[in-house]
Amino acid sequence: MSSVANLATRLEKLIGNDRVRASEAALQEVAIAGRAPMAVLKPRSAEEVAEIVSFAAAEKLAVVACGSRSKLELGKPPQRYDLALDLTGLCQIAHYDPGDLTLSVDAGMPLNELAKALAAKNQFLPLAVPCCSTSTVGGAIASGIDSSLRQLYGAPRDFLIGAEFVDGTGKQCKSGGRVVKNVTGYDLHKLLIGSLGTLAVITRLNFRAFPLPDLRSAHLAGFPTLEAALNFHASLLKSGLPFSNLELFDSNFSTLLAGFLNEVSGSALESLAKQGWHVFASFEGNTSVMERIQRELRECSAQAQAACSETLDMQSLQQLSGALQEVFDWLRRAAPCVALLRIVLPQFAAGDAMELQRLAKQSPLHSAFVLRAYNVAYLALLADAEDASTKTALERGVSELFSCVEAKKGAATLLHAPLWLKHRVNVWGTKRPDFPLMQRVKLAFDPQNIFAPGRFVGGI
């Protein structure tokens, strides 16, 4: 292992001294769970990334790639962390064919800048992920964090058509291509989605773009009971109406949501202050589609005996859609001590949701629950202090939730938690039968185990 000073000098020779930072302040910026690397590198090209990774592989240095660093906390803290690879220097749109609705973009490109370029051609990328004002395209894909438009547009695996990346041997590789239909070779780019940088350093991503919708609208309904809200939610799912987002949340979540909206915009919908459960539905299309869906939503709400039901105006729609896109970010900061779980169940019956809530509300904790698209729920365990009794309750709550979810043949992931808790529970849940196959994939991509070692499922 090289000394810090010597290492920085050698890295400067590799990519230039203006691309290497090793000051304490610079290192602390990229620290993960209190652990800082020895240097922060900001390559300008995929070739430089390859040189750095080759160097790291030869020296057996652990590399963590990052963009805006908004989701660096996901997973376990890496067991080793020598070099931070800041990819924000790779920020060009390499290729954009609006006529083909395809694009190829560098990993460090901020999502909001990309959105502007696409909007100029009346198109967009349905990566409605949290921390959208800073997130990079590469970070959105590597983190695998949920997009709030998944109900209509699918997950990234449905519109990521190719990727370029540097593997653990320092070679520049690619998979897929720039066309919307392609079965040439193994779909390696799908493996990169949600891999938290443990397989390769993503340098460029190819996507299928989508036309911006003519109009958007949304509806919010309130219900006195979970059963009524779930029935309404299920009836919307079964209706076949093309909702872009459908979310169901409890009153604690509503209160926190209202607090977040007040913080960012100075106002929040009055309906959110009402007790009980809410169902938010957003949709898009032409005028006649909007009218039809709004009409059916009013009818369904009436049949479901909703306590309140309203079509949102454009300002409320934008506020609420934006806040629901950002759930991960504000929910993790909603109390002094928060454990945020992502839970997938075969189905969320009322009994299931009640049981999860009960386990989350271990005294003195309170909780917030939101059921998102595709049987995914976020459940936050919130504590107003981080004292011994709170810690005990938090650990017990999270452990019992993992057991409960796995007993129901579901899966849970701890998206956010205090570091001490991450060390005490398995943030990824119990290993699944395909874990040995994942290890094989990891070894093939990263034979020296230099990419974010230990961060991923099962300690990969």
Q: Does 308 bind another protein (CB under 8 A)?
A: no
DSSP 323-376: HHHTHHHHHTTSSSEEEEEEEE-S---HHHHHHHHHHHT-TT-EEEEEE-STTE
Contact region with another protein (CB under 8 A), list: 27-35, 218-226, 318-326, 340-348 = 340-348
Judged by beta carbon, residue 26 or residue 94, the one nearer another protein is 94
Amino acid of residue 290: M
Rounded Cα distance, 402 and 36, in Å: 30
Q: Does 79 bind another protein (CB under 8 A)?
A: no
C-alpha torsion sign, points 165, 134, 143, 51: positive
If one counts every other C-beta atom within 10 angstroms of the C-beta of residue 361, the result is 16
Q: Does 130 bind another protein (CB under 8 A)?
A: no
Q: Does 108 bind another protein (CB under 8 A)?
A: no
Q: Does 346 bind another protein (CB under 8 A)?
A: yes
Contact region with another protein (CB under 8 A), list: 18-26, 33-41, 210-218, 268-276 = 210-218
DSSP strands (E only) in 61-195: 63-66, 83-86, 93-97, 102-106, 123-124, 160-166, 172-176
- State both tokens at 135: 């997130």
Helix (H) or strand (E) holding 408: none
End-to-end CA distance of the chain: 22
Judged by beta carbon, residue 182 or residue 255, the one nearer another protein is 182
Contact region with another protein (CB under 8 A), list: 56-64, 225-233, 238-246, 318-326 = 238-246
Rounded Cα distance, 254 and 241, in Å: 25
Q: Does 285 bind another protein (CB under 8 A)?
A: yes
**Which three-class secondary structure state does DSSP give residue 74?**
coil
Binds another protein (CB under 8 A): choice among 98, 259, 322, 454:
98
Judged by beta carbon, residue 201 or residue 257, the one nearer another protein is 201
Contact region with another protein (CB under 8 A), list: 20-28, 249-257, 357-365, 408-416 = 408-416
CB of 5 to another protein, least distance (A): 33
Judged by beta carbon, residue 46 or residue 268, the one nearer another protein is 46
Helix (H) or strand (E) holding 181: none
Q: Does 1 bind another protein (CB under 8 A)?
A: no
Rounded Cα distance, 129 and 145, in Å: 7
Judged by beta carbon, residue 41 or residue 414, the one nearer another protein is 414
Q: Does 205 bind another protein (CB under 8 A)?
A: no
CB of 119 to another protein, least distance (A): 13
Mask of contacts with another protein, 413-432, x by CB under 8 A? Answer: x--------------xx--x
Q: Do residues 452 and 198 touch, judged by C-beta distance below 8 A?
A: yes
Q: Does 123 bind another protein (CB under 8 A)?
A: yes
DSSP strands (E only) in 128-200: 160-166, 172-176
CB of 437 to another protein, least distance (A): 6
Judged by beta carbon, residue 120 or residue 273, the one nearer another protein is 120
Binds another protein (CB under 8 A): choice among 36, 93, 349, 411:
411
Binds another protein (CB under 8 A): choice among 115, 264, 308, 376:
376
Mask of contacts with another protein, 148-187, x by CB under 8 A? Answer: ------xx-xx--------x-x-xxxxx-xxxxxxxxxxx
Judged by beta carbon, residue 46 or residue 229, the one nearer another protein is 46
Q: Does 215 bind another protein (CB under 8 A)?
A: no
Strands ordered across the beta sheet of 376-383: 308-311, 215-223, 277-285, 243-249, 366-371, 376-383, 337-344, 411-416
Angle between helix 4-15 and 46-59 (nearest 10): 150
Of residues 16 through 75, those in contact with another protein by CB under 8 A are none
Burial class (CB in 10 A: 0-12, 13-18, 19+), 200: buried
Judged by beta carbon, residue 112 or residue 122, the one nearer another protein is 122
Binds another protein (CB under 8 A): choice among 2, 330, 441, 454:
441
